[in-house]
Amino acid sequence: MNSRQHIFDAIRRAQLTPIDHPSIDYSKWTVEGQSLLMDFQSMVENVGGLYSHLGQISELELLIKTHYPAAVNIISTVSLNNINAIPMDPSTDPHLLADVELIVMEASLGIAENGSVWLQDPLIRVLPFITQHLIVVLQGSRVVANMNDAYSIISTEDFGYGVFVSGPSKTADIEQSLVIGAHGALSTRIVIT
């Protein structure tokens, strides 16, 4: 008998009493009068992220020049006119991205309860991790209250890979001392437009 069959037989032998999937009242978690964008901002800062609000997307270049003056190796999925970004091709060997200093990419969702943003099928999957610094551009109207709301949107979409990113990479594995910058980005900035 093969292992798969063996495991399924053992599960069926256990004969657990069938019980329905719970009907969950998602409205229980709705907070009346919540300002999604204000809560989102405070959670982004809470998880160690940086937060900027732009009047218009054209101000992005100034923001990059102001906050990342030394960055040379920049990749951006948002078109930049006066900054020399490295052109991106999905077939690029991800190992060649080891020296990327700044990546600018767009998110389709932000989550107010935890300051995370949803990156779906990035052009190259390693981008948001391998970069030293990450900028994520998000429309303010795309912030939802919590993960339940987020998954009700995401579950209708077709994608191969997606990641919620909440702040910069971090660790507290040495005596519970929080250190920002573990293996992923050393800083993460959310730019709201």
Partner 1 sequence: MNHAQTTKAFFKDPQRVGWHDNALWYVRSKRDKAANQVKDWEYLKDAGAAIKQHTLAHLDKYLQNFEDNAQQNGVHVHWATDAQEHNQIVHRILAQKGVTRIVKSKSMLTEECGLNPYLESNGIEVIDTDLGERIVQLAKESPSHIVMPAIHKKKEEIDTLFQEHLHTAPCGGDPLYLTREARKHLREKFLNAEAAITGVNFAIADNGAIVVCTNEGNADMGVQLTDLHIACMGIEKVIPSMEDLGVFIRLLARSATGQPITTYTSHFIRPKPNATMHIVIVDNGRTRQMARSDFKNSLHCIRCGACMNTCPIYRRSGGHSYDATIPGPIGSILSPGIDLKKYSSLPFASTLCGSCTEVCPVRINIHDQLYKWRQIISVDGNFPIGKKVSMKITGYILARPRL
Of residues 33-92, those binding partner 1 (CB under 8 A): 43, 46-47, 90-91
Closest separation in Å from C-beta 147 to partner 1: 4
Binding part of the chain for partner 1, among 12-20, 53-61, 62-70, 101-109 by CB under 8 A, reads 12-20
Binding part of the chain for partner 1, among 13-21, 58-66, 76-84, 135-143 by CB under 8 A, reads 13-21
Grouping H, G, I as helix, E, B as strand and the rest as coil, residue 151 is helix
Q: Site for partner 1 (CB under 8 A): which residue of 63, 71, 83, 126?
A: 126
Closest separation in Å from C-beta 78 to partner 1: 21
Residue type, 19: I
The full DSSP string for 43-96 is HHHHTT-EEEE-SSGGGHHHHHHHH-TT--SEEESS--SSS-PPP--TTS-GGG
Q: Site for partner 1 (CB under 8 A): which residue of 17, 81, 82, 84?
A: 17
* Closer by beta carbon to partner 1, 62 or else 182: 182
Distances in Å between the Cα of 47 and the Cα atoms of 91, 93, 103, 113 are 33, 31, 20, 11
Q: Considering only residues 89 through 108, tell me which ones interact with partner 1, judged by CB under 8 A.
A: 90-91, 94-95, 98
Closest separation in Å from C-beta 140 to partner 1: 20
Q: Considering only residues 130 through 149, tell me which ones interact with partner 1, judged by CB under 8 A.
A: 130, 146-148
Closest separation in Å from C-beta 190 to partner 1: 13
Q: Site for partner 1 (CB under 8 A): which residue of 28, 56, 84, 87?
A: 28
Q: In what order do the strands lie in the sheet with 143-144?
A: 116-120, 109-111, 143-144
* CA pair distance 8, 94, nearest whole angstrom: 40
Backbone angles phi, psi at 189, to 5 degrees: -115, 130
Closest separation in Å from C-beta 69 to partner 1: 22
Which among 154, 146, 149, 188 is positioned nearest to 169, based on CA atoms? 188
Q: Considering only residues 157 through 176, tell me which ones interact with partner 1, judged by CB under 8 A.
A: 159-176
HSE at residue 169, side-chain half, CA atoms within 13 A, is 13
* CA pair distance 46, 54, nearest whole angstrom: 20
